[in-house]
Structure 1
Protein backbone atom coordinates (compact mmCIF):
# COMPACT_ATOMS: atom_id res chain seq x y z
CA UNK A 1 0.00 0.00 0.00
CA UNK A 2 1.32 3.45 -0.89
CA UNK A 3 1.24 5.60 2.23
CA UNK A 4 1.84 9.34 2.38
CA UNK A 5 3.54 10.44 5.57
CA UNK A 6 3.63 14.06 6.77
CA UNK A 7 7.16 15.22 7.46
CA UNK A 8 9.48 18.20 7.78
CA UNK A 9 12.86 19.02 6.30
CA UNK A 10 14.37 18.12 9.68
CA UNK A 11 12.89 14.64 9.32
CA UNK A 12 14.35 14.39 5.80
CA UNK A 13 17.77 15.27 7.21
CA UNK A 14 17.41 12.41 9.68
CA UNK A 15 16.31 10.07 6.88
CA UNK A 16 19.40 11.03 4.91
CA UNK A 17 21.75 10.36 7.82
CA UNK A 18 20.14 7.17 9.20
CA UNK A 19 18.59 5.57 6.13
CA UNK A 20 15.25 5.29 7.91
CA UNK A 21 12.15 7.44 8.14
CA UNK A 22 10.22 7.43 11.40
CA UNK A 23 6.71 8.85 10.97
CA UNK A 24 5.31 10.71 13.97
CA UNK A 25 3.10 8.25 15.86
CA UNK A 26 3.39 5.98 12.81
CA UNK A 27 0.63 8.03 11.19
CA UNK A 28 0.18 8.29 7.45
CA UNK A 29 -2.54 8.73 4.85
CA UNK A 30 -3.50 6.32 2.09
CA UNK A 31 -6.16 5.38 -0.40
CA UNK A 32 -8.20 3.29 2.00
CA UNK A 33 -11.57 1.62 1.45
CA UNK A 34 -13.15 4.25 3.71
CA UNK A 35 -11.63 7.06 1.63
CA UNK A 36 -12.88 5.44 -1.56
CA UNK A 37 -16.40 5.11 -0.09
CA UNK A 38 -16.47 8.77 0.95
CA UNK A 39 -16.24 9.96 -2.67
CA UNK A 40 -18.93 9.49 -5.30
CA UNK A 41 -16.40 9.47 -8.13
CA UNK A 42 -12.68 9.56 -8.78
CA UNK A 43 -10.13 7.05 -9.93
CA UNK A 44 -7.34 5.68 -7.76
CA UNK A 45 -4.90 8.38 -8.86
CA UNK A 46 -7.31 11.18 -7.91
CA UNK A 47 -8.11 9.59 -4.55
CA UNK A 48 -4.42 9.01 -3.79
CA UNK A 49 -3.96 12.74 -4.41
CA UNK A 50 -6.57 13.38 -1.69
CA UNK A 51 -4.53 11.25 0.74
CA UNK A 52 -1.37 13.14 -0.21
CA UNK A 53 -3.09 16.50 0.38
CA UNK A 54 -4.12 15.28 3.83
CA UNK A 55 -0.49 14.40 4.57
CA UNK A 56 0.63 17.83 3.34
CA UNK A 57 -1.89 19.48 5.65
CA UNK A 58 -0.63 17.35 8.55
CA UNK A 59 2.88 18.51 7.69
CA UNK A 60 1.75 22.02 8.65
CA UNK A 61 1.05 20.76 12.16
CA UNK A 62 4.52 19.21 12.35
CA UNK A 63 6.07 22.46 11.16
CA UNK A 64 4.30 24.31 13.97
CA UNK A 65 6.34 22.21 16.44
CA UNK A 66 9.62 22.28 14.47
CA UNK A 67 12.16 24.69 15.89
CA UNK A 68 14.90 24.07 13.33
CA UNK A 69 16.44 26.82 11.25
CA UNK A 70 15.56 25.03 8.00
CA UNK A 71 13.16 26.64 5.52
CA UNK A 72 9.48 26.34 6.36
CA UNK A 73 8.13 23.97 3.70
CA UNK A 74 5.58 21.18 3.69
CA UNK A 75 7.07 17.72 3.16
CA UNK A 76 5.39 14.41 2.31
CA UNK A 77 7.22 11.09 2.18
CA UNK A 78 5.56 8.47 -0.04
CA UNK A 79 6.40 4.88 0.89
CA UNK A 80 5.21 1.42 -0.01
CA UNK A 81 4.40 -0.48 3.17
CA UNK A 82 2.75 -3.83 3.74
CA UNK A 83 1.84 -3.56 7.40
CA UNK A 84 -0.38 -0.47 7.52
CA UNK A 85 -3.30 -0.63 9.93
CA UNK A 86 -6.45 1.18 8.80
CA UNK A 87 -7.71 3.78 11.28
CA UNK A 88 -11.11 4.99 10.00
CA UNK A 89 -11.93 6.00 13.60
CA UNK A 90 -9.41 8.83 13.18
CA UNK A 91 -10.22 9.80 9.58
CA UNK A 92 -11.11 8.03 6.35
CA UNK A 93 -7.55 8.14 4.95
CA UNK A 94 -5.56 7.55 8.17
CA UNK A 95 -3.35 4.52 8.58
CA UNK A 96 -0.74 3.62 11.18
CA UNK A 97 2.51 1.74 10.78
CA UNK A 98 4.83 0.27 13.38
CA UNK A 99 8.46 1.24 13.46
CA UNK A 100 10.65 3.12 11.04
CA UNK A 101 10.37 2.89 7.24
CA UNK A 102 13.58 1.78 5.51
CA UNK A 103 14.85 4.04 2.73
CA UNK A 104 14.37 1.17 0.26
CA UNK A 105 10.59 1.35 0.84
CA UNK A 106 10.40 5.06 0.10
CA UNK A 107 9.09 5.75 -3.39
CA UNK A 108 9.47 9.53 -3.45
CA UNK A 109 9.64 12.72 -1.43
CA UNK A 110 7.43 15.76 -2.09
CA UNK A 111 8.49 19.23 -0.93
CA UNK A 112 7.23 22.78 -1.34
CA UNK A 113 9.29 25.12 -3.46
CA UNK A 114 10.79 28.31 -2.05
CA UNK A 115 7.93 30.32 -3.58
CA UNK A 116 5.47 28.67 -1.17
CA UNK A 117 7.35 29.62 2.01
CA UNK A 118 5.42 32.84 2.87
CA UNK A 119 2.08 31.03 2.48
CA UNK A 120 3.35 28.00 4.42
CA UNK A 121 4.61 30.22 7.24
CA UNK A 122 1.19 31.90 7.49
CA UNK A 123 -0.64 28.55 7.39
CA UNK A 124 1.58 27.12 10.12
CA UNK A 125 0.65 30.03 12.38
CA UNK A 126 -3.10 29.49 11.91
CA UNK A 127 -3.48 25.72 11.37
CA UNK A 128 -4.96 25.14 14.83
CA UNK A 129 -7.48 27.93 14.37
CA UNK A 130 -8.40 26.51 10.96
CA UNK A 131 -8.98 23.09 12.53
CA UNK A 132 -11.31 24.77 15.02
CA UNK A 133 -13.39 26.37 12.27
CA UNK A 134 -11.95 29.87 11.98
CA UNK A 135 -12.90 30.92 8.46
CA UNK A 136 -10.01 33.35 7.91
CA UNK A 137 -7.52 30.73 9.13
CA UNK A 138 -9.08 28.14 6.83
CA UNK A 139 -8.63 30.54 3.90
CA UNK A 140 -4.95 30.96 4.79
CA UNK A 141 -4.49 27.19 4.88
CA UNK A 142 -6.32 26.98 1.55
CA UNK A 143 -3.86 29.49 0.09
CA UNK A 144 -0.93 27.17 0.77
CA UNK A 145 -2.81 24.24 -0.74
CA UNK A 146 -2.74 26.12 -4.05
CA UNK A 147 1.00 25.35 -4.25
CA UNK A 148 1.97 21.99 -5.71
CA UNK A 149 4.62 19.94 -3.98
CA UNK A 150 7.68 19.15 -6.09
CA UNK A 151 8.48 15.47 -6.64
CA UNK A 152 11.93 14.09 -5.78
CA UNK A 153 13.33 10.60 -6.18
CA UNK A 154 15.11 9.29 -3.09
CA UNK A 155 18.41 9.51 -4.98
CA UNK A 156 17.90 13.28 -5.20
CA UNK A 157 17.51 13.72 -1.43
CA UNK A 158 21.17 14.64 -0.75
CA UNK A 159 21.05 17.33 -3.46
CA UNK A 160 17.72 18.69 -2.23
CA UNK A 161 19.02 19.04 1.31
CA UNK A 162 22.31 20.55 0.16
CA UNK A 163 20.50 23.26 -1.78
CA UNK A 164 18.39 24.43 1.15
Structure 2
Protein backbone atom coordinates (compact mmCIF):
# COMPACT_ATOMS: atom_id res chain seq x y z
CA UNK A 1 0.00 0.00 0.00
CA UNK A 2 1.09 3.53 -0.74
CA UNK A 3 0.17 6.56 1.34
CA UNK A 4 -1.28 9.34 -0.82
CA UNK A 5 -2.21 12.94 -0.13
CA UNK A 6 -5.28 14.07 -2.05
CA UNK A 7 -5.95 17.81 -2.28
CA UNK A 8 -9.60 18.80 -2.19
CA UNK A 9 -12.03 21.38 -0.80
CA UNK A 10 -14.70 21.14 1.90
CA UNK A 11 -17.48 21.09 -0.71
CA UNK A 12 -15.80 18.30 -2.66
CA UNK A 13 -15.08 16.37 0.53
CA UNK A 14 -18.73 16.72 1.59
CA UNK A 15 -19.85 15.22 -1.74
CA UNK A 16 -17.25 12.45 -1.49
CA UNK A 17 -18.21 11.54 2.07
CA UNK A 18 -21.85 11.24 1.01
CA UNK A 19 -20.86 9.09 -1.98
CA UNK A 20 -18.66 6.80 0.13
CA UNK A 21 -15.45 7.40 -1.84
CA UNK A 22 -13.01 10.22 -2.47
CA UNK A 23 -12.65 10.87 -6.20
CA UNK A 24 -9.22 11.28 -7.75
CA UNK A 25 -10.03 13.55 -10.68
CA UNK A 26 -6.45 13.81 -11.95
CA UNK A 27 -3.61 11.39 -11.25
CA UNK A 28 -1.23 14.39 -11.34
CA UNK A 29 -3.03 15.80 -8.27
CA UNK A 30 -2.08 12.76 -6.18
CA UNK A 31 0.91 13.53 -3.97
CA UNK A 32 3.12 10.71 -2.70
CA UNK A 33 5.85 11.26 -0.10
CA UNK A 34 9.39 10.65 -1.34
CA UNK A 35 10.11 8.59 1.77
CA UNK A 36 8.45 7.21 4.87
CA UNK A 37 10.12 9.65 7.24
CA UNK A 38 8.22 12.44 8.96
CA UNK A 39 9.86 15.20 6.91
CA UNK A 40 8.91 13.57 3.58
CA UNK A 41 5.34 13.03 4.71
CA UNK A 42 5.05 16.64 5.90
CA UNK A 43 6.44 17.90 2.59
CA UNK A 44 3.87 15.80 0.71
CA UNK A 45 1.07 17.12 2.94
CA UNK A 46 2.08 20.73 2.33
CA UNK A 47 2.42 20.15 -1.42
CA UNK A 48 -1.12 18.79 -1.47
CA UNK A 49 -2.23 21.79 0.64
CA UNK A 50 -0.79 24.12 -2.03
CA UNK A 51 -2.84 22.33 -4.70
CA UNK A 52 -5.92 22.56 -2.47
CA UNK A 53 -5.38 26.33 -2.20
CA UNK A 54 -5.36 26.51 -6.01
CA UNK A 55 -8.67 24.61 -6.10
CA UNK A 56 -10.21 27.24 -3.83
CA UNK A 57 -9.50 30.17 -6.15
CA UNK A 58 -10.12 32.55 -3.26
CA UNK A 59 -10.76 32.47 0.50
CA UNK A 60 -11.65 29.16 2.11
CA UNK A 61 -10.08 26.18 3.84
CA UNK A 62 -7.40 23.96 2.34
CA UNK A 63 -8.26 20.28 2.73
CA UNK A 64 -6.05 17.22 2.22
CA UNK A 65 -7.27 13.63 2.46
CA UNK A 66 -4.63 11.09 3.51
CA UNK A 67 -5.28 7.54 2.33
CA UNK A 68 -3.54 4.28 1.54
CA UNK A 69 -4.05 2.82 -1.93
CA UNK A 70 -2.64 -0.10 -3.88
CA UNK A 71 -1.81 1.97 -6.98
CA UNK A 72 -1.46 5.75 -6.65
CA UNK A 73 -1.49 6.18 -10.44
CA UNK A 74 -4.77 4.36 -11.06
CA UNK A 75 -7.02 7.40 -10.67
CA UNK A 76 -9.83 5.33 -9.14
CA UNK A 77 -12.02 6.74 -6.35
CA UNK A 78 -10.62 5.95 -2.91
CA UNK A 79 -13.12 4.13 -0.66
CA UNK A 80 -13.61 5.78 2.73
CA UNK A 81 -12.23 2.67 4.46
CA UNK A 82 -8.83 3.57 2.90
CA UNK A 83 -8.88 7.11 4.33
CA UNK A 84 -6.52 7.47 7.31
CA UNK A 85 -7.13 11.11 8.20
CA UNK A 86 -8.10 14.50 6.85
CA UNK A 87 -6.08 17.68 7.31
CA UNK A 88 -7.74 21.08 6.94
CA UNK A 89 -7.33 24.70 7.91
CA UNK A 90 -9.04 25.36 11.23
CA UNK A 91 -10.93 28.29 9.70
CA UNK A 92 -11.42 30.08 6.40
CA UNK A 93 -8.29 31.88 5.34
CA UNK A 94 -7.78 34.83 3.04
CA UNK A 95 -6.40 34.19 -0.42
CA UNK A 96 -3.11 35.86 0.56
CA UNK A 97 -2.56 33.74 3.71
CA UNK A 98 0.84 32.23 4.46
CA UNK A 99 1.08 28.98 2.44
CA UNK A 100 3.23 27.44 5.18
CA UNK A 101 0.51 27.61 7.85
CA UNK A 102 -0.05 24.17 9.37
CA UNK A 103 -3.27 22.26 8.89
CA UNK A 104 -5.37 20.73 11.68
CA UNK A 105 -5.63 16.94 11.82
CA UNK A 106 -9.01 15.18 11.83
CA UNK A 107 -9.55 11.48 12.48
CA UNK A 108 -12.01 9.86 10.10
CA UNK A 109 -14.73 9.79 12.77
CA UNK A 110 -14.34 13.59 13.12
CA UNK A 111 -14.91 14.32 9.43
CA UNK A 112 -18.70 14.69 9.78
CA UNK A 113 -18.07 17.42 12.40
CA UNK A 114 -15.60 19.12 10.05
CA UNK A 115 -18.20 19.05 7.29
CA UNK A 116 -21.03 20.19 9.58
State the TM-score, normalized to the length of structure 1.
0.64
Match of 1:100 in 2: 77
Q: Distance in 1 between matches of 2:46 and 2:74?
A: 19
For residues 30-76 of structure 1, the C-alpha deviation after alignment (integer angstroms, 9 at most, x for no partner) is: 123xxx5xxxxxx7111111111110001111112x8xxxx701000
Structure 1: which 5+ runs fail to align? 37-42, 85-95, 124-142
Tell me if the contact between 2:24 and 2:75 (Cα under 8 Å) persists in the aligned partners: no
Tell me if the contact between 1:21 and 1:101 (Cα under 8 Å) persists in the aligned partners: yes
Match of 2:23 in 1: 22
State the TM-score, normalized to the length of structure 2.
0.88
- Note the C-alpha offset of 1:24: 2.6
Q: Distance in 2 between matches of 1:97 and 1:11?
A: 20
Aligned residues, how many? Answer: 114
Tell me if the contact between 2:32 and 2:44 (Cα under 8 Å) persists in the aligned partners: yes
Pick from 67, 70, 76: which aligns with 1:82?
70
The structure in which a higher percent of residues are strand is 2
Query: RMSD of the alignment, in Å?
Result: 1.9
For residues 69-115 of structure 1, the C-alpha deviation after alignment (integer angstroms, 9 at most, x for no partner) is: xx70100000001112xxxxxxxxxxx3321000000000000011x
Tell me if the contact between 1:112 and 1:150 (Cα under 8 Å) persists in the aligned partners: yes
Match of 2:93 in 1: 117
For residues 94-147 of structure 1, the C-alpha deviation after alignment (integer angstroms, 9 at most, x for no partner) is: xx3321000000000000011x612xx225xxxxxxxxxxxxxxxxxxx231x2
Is residue 3 of structure 2 the alignment partner of residue 2 of structure 1? yes
Q: Matched residue of 1:122: which SS?
A: coil
Structure 2: which 5+ runs fail to align? none
Match of 2:45 in 1: 52
